[in-house]
Amino acid sequence: MPRLSADARHRIRFELNGHTVEGDAEPRMLLTDFLRHTLGMTGTHVGCEHGVCGACTVEIDGVPARACLTLAVQADGARIRTVEGLAPAPRRLSVLQEAFRRHHALQCGFCTAGILMSLDHYLRHHPDPGEADLREFLSGHLCRCTGYAPILAAALDAAAKLREASAHA
Amino acid sequence: MKPARFDYVRAATLAEAHAALAEGGDDARIIAGGQSLVPMLSMRLARPAVLIDIMHLPALTKIGVKGDSIRVEAAVRQAELLAWPELRERQPLLAAALPWVGHAQTRSRGTVCGSVAHADPSAELPLTLLALKGAVELSSQKRRRHVAAEEFFTGLMSTARNDDELIEAVEFPCRAAGHGYAFTEFARRHGDFAIVACAAVASKDGARLAIGGVADIPTARDFAGIEGDALDDALDEFAGGLDARDDLHATAKYRRALVRRLGRATIEEARRCRA
Amino acid sequence: MTATGNRWCGQSVERVEDAALLTGHGRFIDDLGVRPGTLHAAILRSPHAHAKIRAIDVTAARKAPGVAAVITGAEVTALSASLVVGVRAPIECWPIAVERVRYTGEPVAVVVATDRYLAEDALEFIEVDYDPLPAVVDPLDALDPKQPALHEGLGGNVASERAFRYGDPERVFADAPHRVSVTIRYPRNSCTPIETYGLVAEYDAGEDAYDVLANFMGPFSLHAVMARALKVPGNRLRLRTPPDSGGSFGVKQGVFPYIVLMGIAARVAGRPVKWIEDRLEHLAASVSATNRVTTIEAAVDADGRVRALAWDQLEDVGAHIRAPEPATLYRMHGNLTGAYDIRHVSVRNRVVLTNKTPTGLNRGFGGPQMYYALERLMQRIAVELGLDPLDVIRKNLVPSGAFPYRTATGATLDSGEYAKALEIALADGGFAELRERQKAARAQGRIYGIGLTAAVEPSVSNMGYITTVLTPEERRKAGPKNGAQATATVSLDPLGGVSVHTASVPQGQGHRTVLAQIVADALGLKPSDIRVVADFDSAKDAWSIASGNYSSRFAAAVGGAAHLAAGKIKAKLARSAAAQLNVAAQDVEFADGRVRARGNPDNAIPFSRLAAASHWSPGLVAEENQALSETVFWTPPELTPPTEKDEINSSLCHGFIFDFCGVEVDRVTGAVRIDKYVTMHDCGRVLHPGMVAGQITGGFAQALGAALYEEYAYSPDGAFLSGTFADYLLPTTTEVPTPVILHIETPSPYTPLGAKGVGEGNCMSTPVCIANAVADALGLASVDLPMTPAKLAAHIHAEQPTRGRK
């Protein structure tokens, strides 16, 4: 990639939820703005734009990351997953999403996308987490509605269900 | 809260990165994981004319052992080092300190070298590097040099790096036989920058204690052959000599008190780990 | 009306809101498209706490790329009027600085440009010439007439002062064997929703009308304030809300000055203007809860029975008295005796202005400040008289059988079994065991304390309580204000489907689910048969000044109104069905999607067919049975205006809370660890246990934040110190333990469903409960929030120095 000049827009292309997407961005455009306003993927939310709240967490190249701490140009060529890619099909929810609904692990739902993206990744790599592990891992997310208790319950329940499913697979 | 404008260079080779740095001078900034830099851009506290992205250099992605040190290259993410299978065996202090760096969701992108370059006085990695007497490997178009950690951190978020240099790697000395290591941190919340962070290395001759979060730069002191009350007195003197910060989260007095109390406990834990 | 069929209310059904929110398909303000040509605003904010503005030069900014307009105080004063101020004082309140800045973060200029990046670029070209003035930061300093006045018309910085007396407090104090008092300084904090403010404003010059979409939450009394500021009749300010809002907790009331400001910006620019507040703006300048200095004294018998209270409250509302302030100070006025039977009360209330962000609604709204003083006092009574704090609470609780109980200051406590709730909490929450744990911990040299709190949680605010700030004579002149209109509309569509429209403006509380449960119960349907529309449109929906999402009014008032509206529809349908089924109307029952004869379920009509009849064959339905849509406005008669003696029934419902906790303070760091937290609630009838639990755990976490972590801190010169989420610390999963939640139910006799509010209680009870535990642990007579490790360590380290430093 050559030097991208500050005051022009440049073509950015990456894989989003399994599909190639593209759009134009100035070098300074944040990935959050690019996802939401250029690509129209508004499921990723913006809560602080300084990397603390975790609402904008997406998966970049296989790991959870803050979209607000990423420039769109940095994401060129990357593989990105967002909350829109979690459900297995329209009108169906993933095991984790189901658990969130069952345990009332969301109220306003604004921080939820980021928490789901983090947990989706975590449970794939840690199928049998303890509550303390989950508390440590989720401390990178702020939720103002739930007090976290139902989120932890949903995560533990989802982990159990996923283990059960993989045992029967 | 949007960044001011800057050019962006995605360097394909180290030479390209060096050239862009040389051309940009102090208006150029290296971006690696971006976990510290991007918020500064968004708040317009940093206003580079050009950002040089070094995360796509195949040359800078390795963790390895070089001599008696772990050499961590510039594009290595904190999470990658934490997941390195040899880490705990090679250097337990680094293994103990890394989980305190930010959160899983920032360690996944943030780099080890980036944290050292940023030189936040409360950050764990600069502290660990100092405690272990590690070194920073800097390179530019013109030269390559090693700077000892003790000379690298020069002030509040400022370092010995020249404008045309980038950190190519940092070197953490591996565990030494008969040494014990311990890390303790106290922050308001888990994952916050430390109010006081202590990294201790104990050997048969004494102990070395490095303190972060208190003064403008991490600070280390060697306590050779001192025990018991004399160690308390020496710690008191060390704490008293630190130019401790007063801020919203803690007073200078409190920070100094914690240096004495946590510092002592950390040294003792490091001693136990020698066994 | 007797309900039949399934009983959905009381079940934790899955929420209808969740599928969209979990899949990234929520519709929050910044997710909605805007008209082509919409501009984006950025705001230049004051770096000074207090300064005169000598000049603002926007010439360069107007020429910057993409900029359509730059607006300053000059444009705003030319095109609008000051926001109405709720006290009798010569003060104006503008949504932007006019000739003077009075707090760090106050808007000084607005740039509207083609995108937010360009708008922020242009802010840097605005030159403001400030003449800094000394700042008044501490509310006690604001009492000093020698300090600079923020608003010159006022003379000093005291905007309101009132004294009240109920019973005969002077005599009781004179006769009292003991007097105990505490002085507390309640800090500034905020519930900081994760979604910030946002709006899109548009001005129609042809009709002189504004149309604004904003994540505003009410109260819609502020609609009147906004319309008057914009100098249009109410019907020319169309205010809409998006379907989803990312939390509020009171805070999104504070978007209203920006609705006015951006309305003017859109008018000046001649195009729609969108503004999404960023987090730094939110922390510095959205709203804060009030900070308050309170001295409270009790006249006490030797056995701990409290005979009289004397309150002295000094309320700091920041730089402006922005509507609805000083409501924070008066919201609890009827409840100044808490959960206790105390007949003699004196009150002095003063409201001062300081160079800090203007205050507004925040979960708990006055309760955290009030209970912090009252419940610290109850603990001190026990300590000073050598009594068990539990016995002091027991001895003073409003006795069972006394309900409805009229408090000395005028509230009617609708229902309760306070002593019973307390005893159940002690037994089921393991209080005896907790005391054993404390004993064991102390025996090991650990610093361990137990805290207690009893509290009455008011809900459904009387819109007239704020007029208690006026004297009876001023109130007579202004005309009495009271009541709390709740609204709901239940409609039938041509296929027999049921829709509910509400003006409750949910911000995550699941209103749509609960309304579906309520209406399903009334009509013998399933919640999935009901579609609830909660995005609000002031031009189309039924609403009134009390509409909105505050004072925990939803379950008690809005849920009740929906129940009543469904009942009206049902009564009409029942009469129509009676003729067809050949039974009396009272023998018609609604169950399982059918309308049938009681005792003969085969004699039935599908609900949808009956419900569609007034659309398709109105000629066959008697006029009085036409069932298309029913709107209910419901206001409880109990919410009367303040009396001549200043008694005020400030809220309709009163839940009861009894909390206890055990905490340990780390001897080295001073950090507080919550060992156990038990919270007992009586919120009347529970409509959805899962959501009630969510309100309690969520409120508890915010309260824990207020107790230990959060403060909007200012330096002595008025600089704002909590400007990022790295400075203003919200508790996370590693800080918030899971509380033990217990319930009893004493239904409210004053609400249609027997429900009371539950959303705010722990914000009132928990901070002081933790503080009482910390005070017990460390033997402190005085402790202020947030209880930071550094603050507490000063007490621990003072008593056990390390080896003396030279």
Give pLDDT, residue C301.
98
Give pLDDT, residue C804.
43
pLDDT at C158 over 80: yes
Reduced to 3 DSSP states, what percent helix, strand and coil does chain B have, rounded to the nearest 5? 35, 25, 35
pLDDT at C588 over 80: yes
Report pLDDT digits (tens) over A93-141: 999 999 999 999 999 999 999 999 999 999 999 999 999 999 999 999 9
Is there a contact between A30 and B35 if contact means CB atoms under 8 Å apart?
no
Mean pLDDT per 10-residue section of chain A, whose length is 169 residues: 90 98 98 98 98 98 98 98 97 97 98 98 98 97 98 98 91
Closest A-chain CA to C506: A108
Distant-in-sequence contacts of B232-241, Cβ < 8 A, 24+ apart: B232/B260, B232/B264, B232/C802, B232/C803, B233/C803, B235/B209, B235/B259, B235/B260, B235/B263, B235/B264, B236/B260, B236/C802, B236/C803, B236/C805, B236/C806, B237/C805, B237/C806, B238/B209, B238/B211, B238/B263, B239/B263, B239/C805, B240/C805, B240/C806
List the one residue out of C593, A63, C177, C78 whose CA is nearest residue B83: A63
Sheet holding C740-743, edge to edge: C447-461, C651-665, C672-682, C740-743
pLDDT at C1 over 60: no
Report pLDDT digits (tens) over C410-426: 999 999 999 999 999 99
Bridge partners, residue B222, by sequence: B208
Bridge partners, residue B181, by sequence: B201
pLDDT bracket for residue C806 (50, 70, 90): very low
CA distance A118 to A63: 8
pLDDT at C468 over 80: yes
A132 Cβ under 8 Å from any chain B Cβ: no
Report pLDDT digits (tens) over B140-174: 999 999 999 999 999 999 999 999 999 999 999 99
Report pLDDT digits (tens) over B62-112: 999 999 999 999 999 999 999 999 999 999 999 999 999 999 999 999 999
Which of C146-160, C337-351, C473-487, C787-801 is predicted with the least confidence, judged by mean pLDDT?
C787-801
- Strands, E, within C737-778: which ranges? 740-743
Is there a contact between A97 and C22 if contact means CB atoms under 8 Å apart?
yes
B7 Cβ under 8 Å from any chain A Cβ: yes
pLDDT at C59 over 70: yes
Mean pLDDT of chain C: 96
A110 Cβ under 8 Å from any chain C Cβ: yes
> Residues C324-343: what's their mean pLDDT?
98
Give pLDDT, residue C2.
41
Structure tokens belonging to residue C403: 């309900």
How many pairs of residues across B and C have Cβ atoms under 8 Å apart?
A: 78
**Is B44 buried (19+), middle (13-18) or exposed (0-12) by CB count in 10 A?**
middle
Chain B residues near residue C278 by CB distance under 8 angstroms: 1
B228 Cβ under 8 Å from any chain C Cβ: no
Q: Which of A52, A110, A111 would best serve as a mutation to test chain C binding (most C beta carbons within 10 A)?
A: A110
Question: Is ipTM > 0.90 here?
Answer: yes
pTM of the full structure: 0.97
Structure tokens belonging to residue A135: 């508390």
Give pLDDT, residue C799.
53
pLDDT at C241 over 50: yes
Q: Return the SS3 of B78.
A: helix
Residues of chain B above pLDDT 70, percent = 100
Dihedral angle computed from the Cα positions of residues B151, B152, B154 and B158, in that order, rounded to the nearest 10 degrees: 170
Closest B-chain CA to C282: B1
Give pLDDT, residue B193.
85
Give pLDDT, residue C759.
93
Is there a contact between C709 and B188 if contact means CB atoms under 8 Å apart?
yes
Report pLDDT digits (tens) over B23-57: 999 999 999 999 999 999 999 999 999 999 999 99
pLDDT at C371 over 80: yes
Residues of chain B above pLDDT 90, percent = 94
Whether residue B128 contacts residue B101, with contact meaning beta carbons closer than 8 Å, is answered with no
pLDDT bracket for residue C447 (50, 70, 90): very high
Angle at A42 between CA C220 and CA A121, to 5 degrees: 120
CA distance B93 to C118: 46
Report pLDDT digits (tens) over C187-201: 999 999 999 999 999
Give pLDDT, residue C3.
42
Give pLDDT, residue B212.
97
Token pair 């070395």 is at which residue? Answer: B208
Closest B-chain CA to C725: B192
